[in-house]
Structure 1
Amino acid sequence: MAAADSSSIVRLNIGGKKFTTTVDTLTQREPDSMLAAMFSGRHTLCSDHEEGYIFVDRDGKHFRHILNWLRDGVVPTLSDSEYAELLREAEYYQLLGLMDGIHSVTSKRREADDWDTELTRTDIIKCIQSERVRFRGVNLSGLDLSKLDLSFVDFSYACLKNVFFSRANLQCAKFRDVDAEGSIFHNAILRECEFTGANLRGALLAGASLQSANLQDACLADCSFCGADLRSAHLQTADLTNANLEGANLEGANLKGAKLSNANLKGANLQRAYLRHVNLRETHLEGAKLDGANLLGAIR
């Protein structure tokens, strides 16, 4: 069926669980989300003919929390494992506000549980007022450092697991050999950053600005770079196994020796990218722009 007007009732079948809501609910709070795009009127949506439910192939366990977030903007009270599950669903539906809310709640909970972090967010804010800031080798796991100006800060060798860097300014920051598994960098400014040898497995970098960033030898497996700007980035010998780079801008990026097994590069801009001798056989390249890319010896 065609997308309805804003006051229309919508019936959704999420992985077998059925929900009823309105177009207003699905589009107003998070206007840049996938759900808002689905019901914006720009797309034709198919439903079953008997009951009129639109099917979405996702686990429906937490979809009620997503609807409640869209209705009233309140993050539910859940266990840590349930928050992890809800976060995956929020990422899928591109609900950045809900993602921010989940990380804010979980960060406060971790600080209250007295994690083995050596500094708090307040400590970090005090430190960055000085001229030269270093957190080399420091354990900052689980901290919420979103929206801070951390440009030129040296985090080399630090433990940054599950740190929330959303929308932070990290231009020219150093992350050499850090362990930042599962950290959130969505919409962060990371231009000219150094991530050489870093472990970023499962990190979220959707919408991040990574122009000319150095990610050589980094573990980027299972990372999300959806819509990220990676122009002229250095990705030599990086592990991008299962990484999601759909719609990313990799114009002029150097991917020499990168591992791209099962990587999603659908719709990515790879114009003038260096892909010489790269194995692209198991890479998803539907709709990718490859004009001027160096593909000499690439396996396709």
Structure 2
Amino acid sequence: MAQYPFTIDVSTVDGQLEVLRLWGNAELNISSALLILKVSTAELLQLAERHGIAPPSEEALHRRIKDLEARVRPQLRKSKRDQVEEEFSDIRTAVAEALDRVASIALEARAYGQVEAQQLYSVAHARLRRALDSIASVREKFDEARLLENEGARDFEYTDASIKVLRNLDRVVPRPDYYLIGDFNHANPVTKHDILWSWSQGFLATSTAREMLILEEGDTIDEIALQLGVPMPREEAILPAEAAAILGDEPVDGDPTYNVRRRIRDGRLASYFRSDVEARRVFEYEVMSRQRSGSTASAHYRSPYETHFL
């Protein structure tokens, strides 16, 4: 595309015609043409009519707009991505600092014999820890999406052929009743409802759920669950540290439960029920054995999650 300043002598007829042709092809907007020729809009139109040059057509303008969008949009996306990355970094730093402060306060509370306050601080610390894990998980997905975008953006043009009609899809299945009460967030349970459902589905051990609920004297978690219509867990969930030991995980940055919690987040581990943890350990052992032996035979079906993350 032509850009100003041009090496065109507009004092000559040929130079004026060149500017008019650029304007007629939508390679030069009318403001720039007026500035270069030093004429008014009416004079520009008269000059173009005199030389048989038509104003830019809709097709030419559309091409120009698409060209500008193709050049500007990647820059805007990059600017937004850089901003999000900076926000990710700031949030992660803030949460990490808050974790250190809460841990320090909890230690002071325990030192002064303030057991109840220490429990509250411990719950807050656990929630901040899960929030930090969620940030890390979202950051991984963000980076993955950015890589996919960079790969798919090459020579891509959105046209009518890009629109696909999906047929023979499975019907929409109603969500369980507990979703209707409130969003069930097992990754970061905050409300009483989230905590109870996380415990019911095996994402929290009973001891952890009791601490997070801060039960009053005489209350039991079973009674509260029955009052709110939350079913009992099919078995007792184990702590993440015990699950990590069963799976044989190595610590990551000093955290022995990092990998097992990551399995929970991405769906590779269904729950902290011992049966699910044992089943996952057997599956991972079989996969590692096949990889060591070089066998490509599959003993059983592997989900997309299992195929991707192993």
Larger relative CO (CA 8 A, sep 6+): 1 or 2?
Answer: 2
Larger radius of gyration: 2
TM-score by length of 1: 0.22
TM-score by length of 2: 0.22
- Structure with the higher fraction of residues in strand conformation: 1
